[in-house]
Structure 1
Amino acid sequence: MPSSLAQRAAALHRLAVVALLGFASGLPLALTGQAMQAWLTVDGIDLATIGFLSLVGLPYTFKFLWAPLMDRFEVPLLGRRRGWLVLTQLLLAAVLFALSTTSPSDSIRAFALLAVLVAFVSASQDVVIDAYRTDLLTHRERGLGASLNVMGYRLAMILSGGIALIWTDPGQGGGWTWPGVYRFMAALMAGLALLSAIALPQLKAPPARPTLARRDVIGFLAVVAAVFVGAALTDRFGAAVVQAVLGGWLATTAMAPALQARWLELAVLMLGLAFTLPLAGWVAKAARFETLLGGLSSYFAQRGAAAFLIFIVLYKLGDAFAGSLMTPFLLKAMAYGSAEVGVVNKLIGLWLTIAGAIVGGALMLRLGLWRSLLLFGVLQLASNLGFWWLAVNGKGVMPGLTIPAFDWGFVRLAQPTPVDGGLLMVVAFENISGGMGTAAFVAFLMSLCNQRFTATQYALLSAFAAVGRVWVGPLAGVLAESIGWPRFFILSTVLAAPALLMLIWMRDSVRALELDPATVGAVDD
C-alpha cells in the first residue's frame, strides 16, 4: 500500500511538472506572437508588416538543427535536461528585458532582431521541455500529460496575451504600457528558472552512444555556416531572380504596387528556403554531424515516417492560417476594443481552450489516438467557419453580455465592458475545438520519439508542426489585404481538409502507435 501511494505521488509530481513546463513554454511564445501583434498594432505598424514580422518565429521551424547538441551535451551540476532548462529560461529573462527597452515605431529593425532572439531562445527552451516531458512520462500518462501541458501553455497565454491586453487598455486597464508588460514577463521567466532548478525530478540517462563531441560541434558549426551562406546568397541575388521571373507578370495585374512588392518579398523568401535547406542537409552529412544524422535516421527507420511529417504540417495548417492575424482582425477590421478582445479572445477563450484540452485528454482514453485526431480535426475545421460568419455579419448580430468592473489586484476592469455575443460564440467554439485537437496532436508527437534522440526527433516533429504557424503569417497578411477577410477565412477552412483525408489513409499506421507500445518511437539501431 505505501508503495502504491508513493507511485501515485510520483505520477502526480510528474504531471504537475508537465503543467509547469507547459506554462514556461507558452509565456514567451505569446510575447513574439499575438501580444507582440497587439503592441505593433497600437504603435501604428501596417498590417502587411505585422504579417511579415510573424517571421520572427523562424527559429521554431529550424530548432532541430541545434537540438542534437542538447541531446549530446549536458549543462553541469543540474543533470540531464534541467541544466539546459535553467540556462534558456535565464537567457529569456534577459532578452525580454532588452526587448522592453526598444520601441517598434522608432526602431523596427532592432525590435525585430530582438524578437528573433527571443524566439530563438524560446525555441531552444521548447527543445528541452519537449524532450524532458517525453522522457519523463510513461506511455499510459501521455494522453493526460499532453492535456496538462496544453493547460499550462494556455494559462501562460492567458497571462501574456489576455491579461496583458487588459493591462494595456487605456480606458480599462491598470495603466500598464507594453514595455512594462515585457519587463514583468522577464522577471517571471527568471522566477521560472529558479523553480526549474529546484522542483524538476532527475531523469535517467539513456545508454550512451559513442559519438565524438568534437565532430558534433564541428557539424553544428558547419550547418550554421551553410545557413548563413544560403541567407547571404538569397539576400544578394534572390530579389533579382524573382523580379526577372515574376516581376513582369505582376506588373500586368491590377494589384496595388505595395501588394506586388509583398508578393515578391514572399517569393524571395521561398526561393531562399528552397536553396538553403538542401545546402544545410548536404553540409551536415559531409561534416558527419553524428547526433543529428543518427536522430534523423532513427526516426525515418519507422513505418510511415515521411507520411507522418506531411500530416504534422497539415493537421494544424488551417487553424494556424485562421489564427495568424487574429488580433489585427479583431482590433482593426472588426473594431473591437482592446479590453473586449482581451476578455473574450484571450481570457475567456483560453480558459475554454484549457477545458477543451482536458476534455480531449479524457476522451482520448476512450476514443484512442486515431479517432481522437479525426474527430477533433473535424471540429477544428468547422471552427474556422465561425470567423467567416463574423467577418460577413459584423458585430451586434447576436445579443451579448456585459462583464462588470472588477479589481483582482493583478488585473482589473475600470468600467463594465460590453462583450459581443457573436464574438463570444465564435471564440468559444474555436478555443474548445483547438484545445482538444492540440491535446491529441501533442500525444501523437510524443508517440513518435525514440528516447535516445528525444530532443532531436521531437524538435524535428514540432518544427514541422510550426510550419503553419510561422510561415503562413507573411502570406496571410498579403492575402487578407488582397481578397478580404471573408474569403480569407473560407480559404483557411479549405486548408484544414487535406489533413483529415490523409489521416483516414494513415489509419493503420496511427493505430499501430496507440495499440502497441513497443512500436512507439523509432527502431533502435
Structure 2
Amino acid sequence: MTTQPLPDRRSQFIALGLMYFAQGLPGGLAFNALGVLIRDGGHSVSDVGLTGLAFLPWALKFLWAGPIENWCARRSYAYVIGATQWLAIVLCLLLSYFPPSTELYLCVAGAVALNLVCATQDIVTNAYAVARMQGRTAGAANAIQVTAFIGGMLAGGGGLLVVHQHWGWTVAVQLMAGLMLLLYLPLLLGKRWRRVPAAADGATPAGPVGRVRLRDLREHRDLGWALFIAVLFKCAGTAVAVLLQPWLIDHGLSVAQAGGLQVSNLVANAVGGVLIGIPLIRRLGDRGAVAASLTGVTLLLGTAWCLQWAQVSDTRVIFAAFAVQSLAEGAMYVSVWTLFMNWASPRRPGTDYTVMQCCESLSNAIAAAAIGGLGQALGYGRAFGLAWAVAGVALLGIVWSLRRLDGAVR
C-alpha cells in the first residue's frame, strides 16, 4: 500500500502560528487601537461604539463558512489562505490613507472590510487546525492559536499606537501591511505544512467529507448548550475592554501609555494561555479547565470598577492590576477553544468551530456597541459595575451548561 509522507507536527504548528498572527493584526487595530485613536482625535465616547461594527464579520462568518470550506476541498487550504492574504495586504494599504481623526467613517468602513477578509481566512485556518490536531494535540494547537492571535493583536493594537505616536497613521498602517507580507512569505515558500496525511484504515479523513452544509450542525445533540457557552463566556469582558480605551485617555494616560497597556495585557494573555491554560486542561480536562479559568476571570473582571471607585492614578498599579486579569483571560481562551475544537465534528471541522467563534463575536459586537452609550449615560463606574454583574450571572449559566455537553469528554 502506498502512503503519503506525513507532514511533521512542527511545520503544522509554525503554519498555524503565522496564520493566526496575521489574522490578529486587523483585530488589534479595530478592537484595541481604533477606540483610542477615535477618542484622541476629538470624537465622542459614543463614537467609540462604531468599533463594534468590526466585530460583525467575525460574528457572521458562519454564513459563508460552508462555501469557503467547500472551496478549500476543491482547491486547497494553501490556495485560499494565499488569496485572502493578498487581498488583506491591498486593503491595509488603502486604509492607510483614511486616518480616524479626519475620515472617521471611511476609516471604520476600511477596518470592517479588512476584518471581513481576515475573518474569512480564519475559517480556513480553523478547518486546517481542527482537521489535523483534534484530540491530544488540541490543547497545544489552541495555545498556539491564542498566543499567535494575541501577538497579532499586540502588533496591530498597542504596537500600532506606539508607532502612530511617532510617525502617524499612514506609516503605522503601511508598516502593518508590510508585516502581513512578511508573515505570508514562509507559507508561500513552505511545502511540508501543505501535505495531506493519509487516513489510517477505518479512521476519519483529515478534512471535510462530502459537501459541507450549515444545517448539518444540528447533528450535535448538545448544540444548544454549546451555543449558550459560546455566546456568554466573553461578552462582559469585551464590554469592559472597549470602555477601558476611552477611560484610559480620560484618566490622563497618553496614547503611547494606552498602547503600552494594551501590549502588557496581550503579553499576559499569551503567558496565561501557555503557562496556566495548558496545565489546567491536562489536569482537569476540557470542561473542568473552562469552569476553573472562567471563575477566575469573573472574579478579576471587577478590576476596572475597583480602579475607578478608588480613583487610582498610579500607572504602575493600573498595569499590574490588568496584567493579573489578563493572565486569567489567557487561560480561559485556551480552555474554551480546546473545548470547542474537540467538540467539532471531523466531517465539518471549519464550519462547526467557526460557528462557535461567531457566537462569541456576535455577543462581542453587541457588547461593544452598547457599552459606549452606557458609559456616556451611566458614567464609567456604573457601566463597569454592570458588566461585572452580567459576568457573574453568565458564569452560573455556563457552569450549568458544561455538565450537559455530550461531545467534550476529553
Normalising by structure 1, report the TM-score: 0.71
Q: Does 1:388 align with 2:305?
A: yes
Alpha-carbon contact 2:20-2:149 (below 8 Å) kept = yes
Cα deviation, 1:447-501, whole Å, max 9, x if unaligned, reads 2212322222222111001123211122100000111111111111111123322
Q: Does 1:185 align with 2:181?
A: no
Give the match's secondary structure for 1:513. Answer: coil
Q: Which residue of 2 aligns with 1:71?
A: 69
Alpha-carbon contact 2:293-2:331 (below 8 Å) kept = yes
Q: Which residue of 1 aligns with 2:33?
A: 35
Alpha-carbon contact 1:22-1:149 (below 8 Å) kept = yes
1:360 maps to which of 277, 287, 305: 277
Q: Distance in 2 between matches of 1:53 and 1:12?
A: 36
Q: Distance in 2 between matches of 1:56 and 1:206?
A: 29
Alpha-carbon contact 2:340-2:408 (below 8 Å) kept = no
Q: Distance in 1 between matches of 2:402 and 2:215?
A: 24
* Residue identity opposite 1:480 in structure 2: G
Q: Distance in 2 between matches of 1:503 and 1:46?
A: 35
When structure 1 is superposed on structure 2, of 376-385 and 37-46 the one drifting more is 37-46
Q: Distance in 2 between matches of 1:388 and 1:95?
A: 38
1:305 maps to which of 213, 220, 223: 223
Alpha-carbon contact 2:60-2:362 (below 8 Å) kept = no
Root-mean-square deviation over aligned CA pairs: 2.2
Q: Distance in 2 between matches of 1:304 and 1:90?
A: 38
Alpha-carbon contact 1:318-1:381 (below 8 Å) kept = no
Unaligned runs of 5+ in 2: 198-205
Cα deviation, 1:354-395, whole Å, max 9, x if unaligned, reads 110002112211111111111111111112211101111223
Alpha-carbon contact 2:66-2:351 (below 8 Å) kept = yes
Q: Which residue of 2 aligns with 1:448?
A: 343
Give the match's secondary structure for 2:221. Answer: coil
Q: Which residue of 1 aligns with 2:296?
A: 379
Q: Which residue of 2 aligns with 1:329?
A: 247
Normalising by structure 2, report the TM-score: 0.90
Alpha-carbon contact 1:75-1:83 (below 8 Å) kept = no
Q: Distance in 2 between matches of 1:502 and 1:207?
A: 32
Q: Does 1:490 align with 2:407?
A: no
2:361 maps to which of 466, 476, 480: 466
Alpha-carbon contact 2:156-2:176 (below 8 Å) kept = yes
Q: Distance in 1 between matches of 2:126 and 2:181?
A: 20
Alpha-carbon contact 2:236-2:388 (below 8 Å) kept = yes
Unaligned runs of 5+ in 1: 1-5, 170-174, 212-290, 401-419, 516-525
Alpha-carbon contact 2:95-2:110 (below 8 Å) kept = yes
2:234 maps to which of 292, 316, 325: 316
In terms of Rg, which structure is larger?
A: 1
Q: Which residue of 1 aligns with 2:376?
A: 481
Give the match's secondary structure for 2:82. Answer: helix
Aligned positions of 1:10-409 closer than 5 A:
10-74=8-72, 80-169=76-165, 175-199=166-190, 200-204=193-197, 206=207, 208-209=209-210, 291-292=212-213, 295-297=214-216, 299-332=217-250, 334-343=251-260, 345-358=261-274, 359-396=276-313
Q: Does 1:430 align with 2:301?
A: no
Aligned residue pairs total 395
Give the match's secondary structure for 1:465. Answer: helix
When structure 1 is superposed on structure 2, of 19-28 and 122-131 the one drifting more is 19-28
* Residue identity opposite 1:180 in structure 2: V
| Percent identity (aligned) | 22
Give the match's secondary structure for 2:224. Answer: helix
* Residue identity opposite 2:131 in structure 1: D
